């Protein structure tokens, strides 16, 4: 299966934008959610 770099680049762009959004939201900014949970949530949103 050939690697399509445009798709990978788009995925990482979406992942970066969602990660910044999740890490900066006041709801997720509390210490209740560890960084690993926030990163996993960002990855899940990017895949969807």
> pLDDT at position 35, please?
87
pLDDT per residue as tens digits for the range 2-47: 778 999 999 999 999 999 998 888 887 778 888 899 899 999 999 9
* Segment 18-21 long-range contacts (CB within 8 Å, at least 24 positions apart): 18/42, 18/45, 18/46
> pLDDT at position 27, please?
80
> pLDDT at position 9, please?
94
CA 9/CA 26 separation, integer angstroms = 28
CA 19/CA 25 separation, integer angstroms = 10
pLDDT per residue as tens digits for the range 3-13: 789 999 999 99
Q: What is the per-residue DSSP string for 10-30? A: HHHHHHHHHHHHHHHSTTTTS
């Amino acid at each position: 299966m050939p690697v399509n770099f445009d798709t990978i680049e788009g995925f990482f762009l979406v992942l970066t934008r969602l990660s910044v959004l999740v890490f900066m939201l006041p709801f997720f900014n509390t210490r209740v959610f560890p960084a690993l949970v926030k990163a996993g949530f960002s990855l899940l949103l990017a895949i969807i």
